[in-house]
Amino acid sequence: MGHRLALEKHVRLDSECEPIMMPWMVPFLRFSDDSLKTSFQEQLSLMRKNRLFCDVILQVENTEIPAHRNVLACVSPYLMDLFSAEQNTCNDGNIPSYRLNGYITKEGLNILVEYAYTALLEVPEDMIKDVYLAAFQLRIERVVNECAAHLVSDLSSDTSIETRSLPGINRNKNFVSKVDQFISEHFGELTQTTSFLQLPSIQIEVLHQTKQEMAMVAEDSLCRLVLDWIKREISDHSASIASLSERSHMLFLALDNSLQDVSDLIGEKANSDLVKDYKKLASKNPSSNPKTRRKCVSQPDRPRILLYSRDISDRTYDEVACGDADWNVISSMKLSDHTFISLVTLNGKLCRISIQLRLNNITISTSETTSSNVSSTPSPIPHNDSSISLDAKLELDRAFEFSSIDQPELFCEIATMSESKCGLGVAEHEGQLIVVGGYGRTECLKSVESYCPVTNRWTEKLSLNEARGRVQIAIINDIVFAVGGSNGVNELDTVECLSLIDSLSDGKKKKWKKCANLPFPRSNTGVCALNGKIYCVGGNSTGQNGIRQCDVYDPETNKWTSIAPLNTGRCQAGVAAYNGKLWAAGGSDAWNCLVTVECYDPEEDTWSAVAPLLTARRGCGLAELNGKMYCVGGSDGSQSLKSTEYYDEATQAWVFGPSLITARSIVSVAAINNRLYAIGGFSGKKFLNTIEYFDEEANEWTKFAKLQPIMTSSSSNIDSEEEDKNDIIRNDLNDVINDLKQKATLKISEKDKIREDESESTAIIMPL
């Protein structure tokens, strides 16, 4: 009690006096010794050289470099992580020693250690590459940037190949883009240098049917198609750069718009002497494992214009151009009428590709060559009689005869999504793909967009209220429902919906609305619409992977009801409706990828086992296309998969289908207009913004969308929206035709006459 009174009195006395001067308010001496910083660095450097108080030794090659861990850790995040991970393992009294491997040399490391102690970087000209590589490995960003800037400023035709060949350069996006830009701008003179000519060379011949077709090839598009073929040979068929360099390879444009080896060509066009001779050569000296090669693919019968452009989608140009520096066409040029050369990276290694166009001579009758169509069709291009001969005019008319009487098939590279992502929700609505949320490189997403196959364009939609990755969606009565998912920190039990009708009857602004919550939070679930209701199957919940819980949502009552649980708990399963029932294929039980498949009967409220998959997989897509259930991609626990399989009703078993172009796990699939689309996913190395679709006619997956040319119609029955789509397609085709006309006009000016060998062109490769 007395203590309390004394304390109160003390406080009162203090309150009655003048304000107390706190310690930090008392005047004090402040002195800044600028020379200490310099002397501190000098003394540290001197101590290191005299091995005084050194507590670490760096070993590189046969050299030991003593230093102080605190100093090195302040400069290099790599060494900070290395020292931190092992700080409790070195208590025996000995100085710890670390051997640095990779591309670090003793000279380069000595320079960087000296920089750490003196803040001064002095690098001889011949050591800059060594210091750059060491700094990049040790993550000393300032030194990396300075060395890269110097190397860029010192680029020349003689040094650019050596600089571009630096190990790991593709991981430095800014640096590699500047080097590639220089190479592209000086490619002509660079091709004459010794360093370029010493690169591995792959010889390619591309088979064509007519000289007109050969005259209209653009080197950038052609080189990208060749690069795609080489990538498949190396990635899928165990070929190597060395084996591909041993002989020339002859390719043709197949029905799925990919280049294929002529040894796989079948049919009438394989009967020429050129093709027969090549098949004999290829059989004696195969460059890849023949057992892994795909089945034969035929050529298209109709004329075909192939639009293969980096700028298919303007908003993703930077991402597409720089997205895969390990497989990239750096530059290309035309050497002569039918010869091209390019510099590419093949799995990160520089290589030059020589491409020659070859004419496949197939004997045709003279009467076909002198068909009346040639003389009866007016020329689409104005000619100057003094500069172009009559024969050349007729040749040009014949080349563009299809522009008025036989519209060609128009194929365009499928536009990419706005960003790379996996674990996204996808569903079909009125012939378009609706894509919701997903998980990007660093975060879960709110974005929503739609893809129109007719116009090959993506459109941004109203964003979600809440970021959702590892989410699935379903559409009922023009309303899309986003169910559960993850916000990057926690699983979600929330559900939101959006009307996809362009205008609401009540005039209110469209927005995502909250629906009844799930019984508990979950992500990586399977979501599917069946009989006007939405089913949520399995998934992950907080602390639980591969749950058995299943629920159904009734939009009429806005309520979730639990149904019979799965026989096997599973997350990342493929879920889809098929023949009036709900199918759940594959997935994971928290430890293993599953091969099992089970089917839910809504009338009986029971799950029953059906035929197992051929490959255990999680993160796969499941969807029905024309009466068949397809299971696409996924992961087997060790790698992302390209394989697909479908359920055969007759045998009640799964059958392997054509492989995807790109391996995709955590992929979403949806069927539209006889096409099965695979959207986004994870390739095993990176998140994907690309999509591809399964073409039943060709029985292949392709990344080219077929755009049917539509002629102007005077019918009043066509609504304005459909006419707008027609206009877009018509304009795209007209642009291409005009480009071809200009290209052909220049060609005829250079050569007065082009001999025609066949009535129809098989493929024309042009940029959009």
Q: For residues 162 and 711, which has the higher predicted lDDT (pLDDT)?
A: 162
Over 689-738, what HEC string results? CCEEEEECCCCEEECEEEECCCCCCCCCCCCHHHHHHHHHHHHHHHHHHH
> CA-CA distance, 547 to 540, in Å (whole number)?
6
* Confidence grade of residue 407 (pLDDT, cut at 50, 70, 90): very low
- Report how far apart, in Å, the C-alpha atoms of 42 and of each of 57, 73, 142 are: 20, 18, 21
User: Which of 37, 62, 48 has its CA nearest to residue 114?
Assistant: 48
- In this prediction, residue 219 carries a pLDDT of 78
Query: Per-residue pLDDT tens for 467-500?
Result: 999 999 999 999 999 999 999 999 999 999 999 9
How far apart CA 727 and CA 732 sit, in angstroms, is 8
Question: DSSP E strands: which ranges in 8-138?
Answer: 56-60, 63-67, 97-99
pLDDT above 90 for 102: no
The tens digit of pLDDT for each residue in 303-334 reads 455 554 433 233 333 333 444 678 899 999 99
Q: Does residue 389 carry a pLDDT above 60?
A: no
Contact 480, 463 (CB under 8 A): no
HSE on the CB side for 276, CA within 13 Å?
6
Cα 108 to its chain centre, rounded Å, is 35
Is 671 or 220 the better-scoring residue by pLDDT?
A: 671
Q: Please state, in angstroms and rounded to a whole number, the distance separating the CA atoms of residues 143 and 532.
A: 62
Tell me what percent of the residues of the chain surpass a pLDDT of 70.
Answer: 75
pLDDT at 209: 75
- Please report, for residues 20, 161, 522, the alpha-carbon distance to residue 546 in angstroms, rounded to integers and kept in the order given: 65, 51, 10
Q: What is the pTM of this model?
A: 0.66
The span from the CA of 11 to the CA of 151, in Å, is: 71
Greatest mean pLDDT range, 324-338, 540-554, 569-583? 569-583
Amino acid letter, 192: Q
Greatest mean pLDDT among 77-86, 227-236, 311-320, 430-439 lies in: 430-439
Distance CA 478, CA 364 (A): 56
Reported as type and span, the H/E element at residue 79 is: helix 77-85
Q: What is the pLDDT of residue 615?
A: 97
Would you state the pLDDT for residue 293? Answer: 55
CA 540, chain centre distance (Å) = 27
Using alpha carbons only, how large is the chain's radius of gyration in Å? 33
- Orientation angle between helical segments 77-85 and 128-138, nearest 10 degrees: 50
Contact partners, residue 428, CB within 8 Å, separation at least 6: 434, 475, 670, 671, 672
Q: Are 257 and 411 spatial neighbours (Cβ–Cβ below 8 Å)?
A: yes
Q: What is the dihedral of CA 214, 219, 225, 229, to 10 degrees?
A: 90
| For residue 752, pLDDT beyond 50 | no
Least reliable range by pLDDT among 176-190, 197-211, 666-680 = 197-211
Domain 36-154 fold: Potassium Channel Kv1.1; Chain A (3.30.710)
Closest residue by Cα to residue 215 from 701, 762, 758, 746? 746
Q: Report the b/e string of 383-397 with b at 16+ CB within 10 A.
A: beeeebeeebebbbb
User: Which of 360, 398, 403, 405 is CA-nearest to residue 212?
Assistant: 398
What was the pLDDT predicted at 258?
81
Cβ–Cβ under 8 Å, residues 312 and 416: yes
Q: Which of 369-383, 425-439, 737-751 has the highest mean pLDDT?
A: 425-439
Domain ranges of the chain: 36-154, 199-411, 415-702
**Which helix H or strand E contains 12, and what residues bound it?**
helix 2-16
Is the predicted pLDDT of residue 574 greater than 60, yes or no?
A: yes
Q: Can you give the pLDDT at residue 385?
A: 39
Phi, psi of 155 (to 5 degrees): -65, 140
| Mean pLDDT for the stretch of residues 665-692 | 94
Worst-scoring range by mean pLDDT, 165-174, 619-628, 654-663, 701-710?
701-710
What per-residue confidence (pLDDT) applies to 11? 42
* Per-residue confidence (pLDDT) for residue 3, from 0 to 100: 43
The SS3 of residue 582 is strand
- Give mean pLDDT, residues 206-216: 76
The CA distance from 203 to 389, in Å, is 36
Task: Give me the residue label for tokens 């009758």.
Answer: 365
Q: CA 656, CA 210: separation in Å to the nearest integer?
A: 37
Query: Does residue 557 surpass a pLDDT of 70?
Result: yes
Predicted confidence at residue 402, as pLDDT, reads 42
Distance CA 744, CA 215 (A): 7
Q: How many other C-beta atoms can be found within 10 angstroms of the C-beta atom of residue 300?
A: 18
- Mean of all residue pLDDT scores within the chain: 80
For residue 130, the 8-state DSSP code is: H
In residues, how long is the chain? 768
Out of 661-675, 679-693, 699-713, pick the least confident.
Answer: 699-713
Full 3-state SS string of 397-462? HHHCCHHHHCCCEEEEECCCCCCCCECCEEEEECCEEEEECCECCCCECCCEEEEECCCCEEEEEC
Token readout for 290 is 């023949």
Those residues with Cβ within 8 angstroms of residue 677's Cβ, 6 or more apart along the chain or in another chain:
426, 433, 669, 670, 671, 691, 692, 693, 694
- Return the closest-CA partner of residue 70 out of 52, 91, 92, 55: 55
Rounded to whole angstroms, the maximal C-alpha distance in the chain is 127
**Superfamily for 415-702?**
Kelch-type beta propeller (2.120.10.80)
Average confidence (pLDDT) over 282-296 = 63
Instruction: Give residue 496's identity as a one-letter amino acid code.
Output: E
The rounded distance, in Å, linking the Cα atoms of 570 and 581 is 18
Q: What's the rounded Cα separation, in Å, for the pair 38 and 117? A: 10
Cβ(397)–Cβ(377) under 8 Å?
yes
Q: What is the pLDDT of residue 316?
A: 35
- Taking the CA atoms of 509, 510, 515 and 518 in sequence, report the sign of the dihedral they define: negative
Does the pLDDT of residue 753 top 80, yes or no?
no
Q: Which residue has the higher pLDDT, 11 or 174?
A: 174
How much is the average pLDDT of 740-751? 49
Which of the residue ranges 28-37, 113-122, 270-279, 352-361 would you say has the lowest mean pLDDT? Answer: 28-37
